Chain A
Amino acid sequence: MGDDPLLDELADIEVSASGRVREVADLAALDDLEAEVLGKRSRLTDIRSGLKDLEVEQRKVVGRALHEARGSLEAAFAARRGDLVDRERAAELEAERQDLTEALGRARIGHLHPITQTWERLEDVFVGMGFVVEDGPEVETDWFNFEALNLPPSHPARSLWDTLYLDTSGTPGVREEQVLLRTHTSPVQVRTMMRAVREGTGPPIHCVCPGRVYRRDTADATHLPVFHQIEGLVVDRGVTMGDLAGTIEEFTKAYFGESLTSRLRPSYFPFTEPSAEVDISQPDGSWLEMGGCGMVHPNVLRHCGVDPEEWTGFAFGFGIDRLAFVRHRVSDLRDFVTNDLRFLEQF
């Protein structure tokens, strides 16, 4: 049986054809080869047609060999076709290759001002601590900015604030130096307390008042005539200096991080008593001066219609610009108001 020439031929066809399948480089050549090897005019088709003329035994043997050869070649073609399709798709996609880094940095991205970012972070921390946010006018009267805050006219401490006054000459009923640009956010405390009393909504009051304030100060690396403060006010029954210190400490941990702490140093402000400076510890062991605080002076409560025997309160105030300045290691405060995009786009 081994010497049947047809079997030998089938074996040769299978070997040579499968070798050629492996060498075919593209789908068109593969189609041609498939027609040649497996098509109607192929030798395999010839052999199949000749089967009927063979002896029964030989027909069985050759038929089986033919079936196997054909099956194996069909599988080889299918596999090769799969390979070539994949390869062509890969080549097409490779031709579409892009350098994605070309697109880097092209997007037009806007930037929030670093002072706004600091302002909002502060608001978020205080809102998380149970405060609401209040605001007030930037043009104020002497009464709200000074007098209600226990700074009567000619109080020597008024010289601590270099005040910008509005020119009210020619305005009937308005005396000189009665209308000013607020020198601190403290008048918002007064307005908030008076409104709460008027509308019957408080005390208790737990609010922060962020805002823009003004001083008659020449701009330099560490001073601006216009800057921002955030002021806190809590008025309730039984509020103590210990509550103030605890609130400052909670804020310190929330804003600066768990590892830092705060301290209060006795100080003087006309609108609080006792008054203190707030220092925040720095990683290098030094203390950063943050702002002032204290127990709301009984006279201030009285001016706002709040009975100091029934209610006590504390207040604190920090500089927003200063916090932004320190956080971003800005070297010159004037960068905050120059609006140089090369500066603004860093944040």
Chain B
Amino acid sequence: MRVSLNWLRDYVPVEAAPEDLADTFADLGLEVDGVERIGAGLHGVVVARVLEVRAHPDADRIVIVDVDSGDGEALQICCGASNMAAGDLVPLATVGTVMPDGMEISARRMRGEPSNGMLCSAAELRLGDDTAGILILPVDLDPGVPLAEALGITEDVVFDLDVLPNRPDALSMVGIARDLAARLGLPLVTPSSAVAELGDPAEGLVTVEILDPVLCGRFLVRVLSGVSVGSSPDWLARRLLGAGMRPINNVVDVSNYVMLELGQPNHTYDLDKVAGSRLRIRRALEGETIETLDGATRMLSAGDGVIADGDDMAIGIAGVMGGASTEISDSTRDVLVEMAWWDPMAIAISSARLNLHSEASLRFKRGADPEMPPAAAVRFAELLGEVAGATLHPGVADGRGDLPDRSPVRVRTDRVNLVLGTDLDRDRVAALLDPIGFTCTSAGADLDVSIPSWRYDSREEIDVIEEVGRTYGLSRIPRTVPRSPEGGSLNHAQRSRRALRRALVGAGLSEAMPLPFLAPGDLERCGLDPDGACLANPLVQEESVLRTSLRPGLLAAVRYNSARRRFGARLFEVGRVFGPGEFVVDTERSEALGTVMTGEAEHLGAVLAGADALEAVELLDVALAALSVGPLALRAERLPGMHPGRGAVVEVAGFEVGEVGEIDPVVLERLEVAERVGWLGLDLSKLLAMPPAVRTARPVSRFPSTDVDLAFVLDEHTPAAAVATTIRAAGGDLVRHVELFDVFRSESLGEGSRSLAYRVWFQAPDRTLTDAEVAGLRAEIITEVEQTHGASLRS
């Protein structure tokens, strides 16, 4: 809502500085989106007469104009627009003028031709939004006269207010003035009109029937005669322009003016064109069509409201837009003006479905004032009489349907203070409410409050309490801090998630956050089950599937980075994944960890290309240590989207919780990822739900340890972890630690075989082990590994 300060002063004698007013509006809940100063940049702009327009010798888009700026001399100006002709009066910004946008006009040359000022469009002068051409002024002005004086423009400030959905009243000048007057303790002057009535009573000229009382709460009609359609006087046109509306003709302009002033949308009909002089308010028939004022033919559905004529033809869409068939024209003799109240919900649904959002529908869907129609009709008649010579017929046709219940609401003073944290007494509460029209009568310590008809949204005690808070000023409420009886903390899962993220960052991975939407086919391209939940109304098809895995997003991130020559990406993501039938939202929450590792990895002391899978396993150890869960087991398996020989299922405490290994190079080729990629995917929902390991201390032995190195030649398919398990089992309690320290392959070992070298530490808690004991353990381990795994000790 654009609010002109000059216009506002018609209703409230406000003198505050615009900056202070902006703060006051904000404090009243009328958010200020912008403050515009009108007419402030017009110093130096004068009326000029165009003497000649000719082409620029060196430029197609520039014309040369000679103007008379009042001294009778020809002054040459170069101009980018060419909508003016010799004899027109135009605004000229003379040399030295500072334009509203801050630009200073200077004498200059354009493509070699001198230019001594600038001819201005309405937009450049902030007199309108027309940027298309130079503003052509009325013919009766004198060249040389300052433009502001010639047009009678006074400086003004326009506040662009963002009106909230619960404030239908603030979509009018009077409503805003009411709030301001109450806050500033100033008198509110509402327009009161007295108009002489002439001619036959309206009751005999038109009939109104409300067939659907739920749809239409009120439909008041008056008749005017003797309208001469023409353009509006300057003051009216300017007010509309300031409010952001384009002047059309005096009838439309008065209609808009009354809506802006009083918040009452209204509509005019050419009475002669209304068949049977009957207006019947009913729901539309499914598929019924109507040509609206904007020239479009619209198909209606059964929920929409229409105004039909005596032939039951729709001549208007209720509360949204009028029809073309009854539009006012130059030949109009008698004008019907409609002032209605429509059911807000019906209008909201209608205008949304028709995608037709008018100034009228905006006000009706938020709830207009059902008591406003009689006064608004008289105000309309008064203004139309003034600007179009219309006279008002006596009488009204006033149809009534269902209106909201407006019985008084009991407002408990204690409750006001309990909700707001204030210490107001009953009379103070009443004094805050009365000026904004919430009339209070005492009921013991409490109040019975009549909610004004212009506050559709307000109907319960809490709504009134909100008004008390707003008018009192939220900034004046004493600030207190409540204390939680429990104290704050993170729970185990929240702490573990943080520990996990930090461990991964410590391991050199950065956190990615791709959008969780996938394109159809993304999952399949990653070698995963293509089934995913789909959006019913995605913005674009590329973002229509909800991810079932973090893998596509992370692989896309790898591709993005390597395409920009940022190779070796190591990324992780912690985020939700969604099952293909994610409709039972109460039960399962699937949170996942995904990590991708690319580039050459250092493994077991040697830099190896293609060690990404092994590195992913090391990362798995890091992750599980951070989450404090175990024990871990890997089970080699052919997994979807994974390298057939480099993938394993991750088991923790016997539960399958994810997969680790290398992404299938075929998938990577398909995705145009040039690098090998190690992958670790974990089901965090399961891992975070596991009870954390409680660690009890074991005494550290004071006695020296002995270590033994054993290298075995084994089949490639024998898991190293299984060999280590055998070593531990064979060595028993005296084995303190087993570490794989070398993996070796060579021709001499033969195809399909490798050597695994383990270092085994022995230690007893209560004595130094003898050489004989160690030799015995060593022999047992060798025998056991050879027998269990078909290995041979490498000498």
Contacts and interface: CB of A to CB of B under 8 A. Distances in A.
Of A107, A112, A216, A341, the most chain B CB neighbours within 10 A belong to: A341
A338 B561 CA distance: 10
Contact of A179 (B460, B506, B583): B583
Contacts of B502: 112
Of A129, A266, A273, A336, the most chain B CB neighbours within 10 A belong to: A266
Given A274-B465, A274-B470, A133 B484 contact: no
A240 B515 contact: no
Contacts of A267: 29, 31, 164
Given A129-B488, A171-B581, A108 B535 contact: no
Interface size of B as a range: 35 or more
A137 B546 CA distance: 14
Given A116-B501, A216-B537, A297-B462, A268 B422 contact: no
Interface string B506-517: 111111111111
Nearest to A130: B484
Given A167-B534, A250-B481, A264-B474, A127 B488 contact: yes
A160 to B, nearest CB: 8
Nearest to B540: A218
Interface string B168-200: 000000000000000000000000000000000
A72 B582 CA distance: 96
Nearest to B457: A268
B486 interface: yes
Of B28, B422, B479, the most chain A CB neighbours within 10 A belong to: B479
A337 B26 CA distance: 35
A54 B510 CA distance: 91
A56 interface: no
Given A132-B488, A265-B26, A339 B349 contact: no
Contact of A242 (B348, B422, B543): B422
A247 B507 CA distance: 38
Given A156-B165, A243-B421, A266-B27, A167 B536 contact: yes
Contacts of A107: 508
B508 A166 contact: no
Of B489, B535, B569, the most chain A CB neighbours within 10 A belong to: B535
B486 A337 contact: no
B490 A130 contact: no
Interface stretch (B204-212, B570-578, B648-656, B769-777): B570-578
Nearest to B477: A242
Contact of B505 (A110, A141, A297): A110
A116 B511 contact: yes
B420 A241 contact: yes
A272 B564 CA distance: 48
Contacts of A186: none
A164 B564 contact: no
Interface in A152-200: 154, 156-157, 159-160, 164-169, 171, 174, 176-177, 179, 181
A176 B535 CA distance: 11
A345 to B, nearest CB: 6
Interface string A219-249: 0000011100000001010111111011101
A245 B660 CA distance: 50
- Give the dominant DSSP class at A's interface: mixed
A166 B560 CA distance: 28
B443 interface: no
Contacts of B534: 166-167
Contacts of A179: 582-583, 585
A201 B498 CA distance: 26
Contacts, number: 244
B469 A274 contact: yes
Contacts of B27: 265-266
Interface in B472-497: 474-475, 477-491, 494
A276 B489 contact: no
A236 B564 CA distance: 54
Interface string A284-303: 00000000000101100000
A13 interface: no
Given A167-B534, A240-B418, A344 B512 contact: yes
A268 B475 contact: no
B480 A246 contact: yes
Contacts of A242: 420-422, 477-480
Given A111-B511, A133-B491, A265-B31, A140 B543 contact: no
**What are the nearest 9 A-B pairs in CB distance?**
A242-B421, A266-B29, A240-B421, A108-B508, A130-B484, A110-B505, A246-B479, A206-B484, A268-B164
Interface of B: 26-29, 31, 164-167, 344-345, 348-349, 352, 365-366, 418-422, 460, 462-463, 465-466, 469-470, 474-475, 477-491, 494, 498, 501-502, 504-517, 533-539, 543, 546, 557, 560-561, 564, 566, 569-572, 575-576, 578, 581-583, 585-586, 589
15 contacts: A108-B508, A132-B488, A137-B589, A154-B348, A164-B538, A167-B533, A206-B484, A212-B576, A240-B420, A240-B421, A243-B480, A246-B480, A267-B164, A268-B167, A344-B512
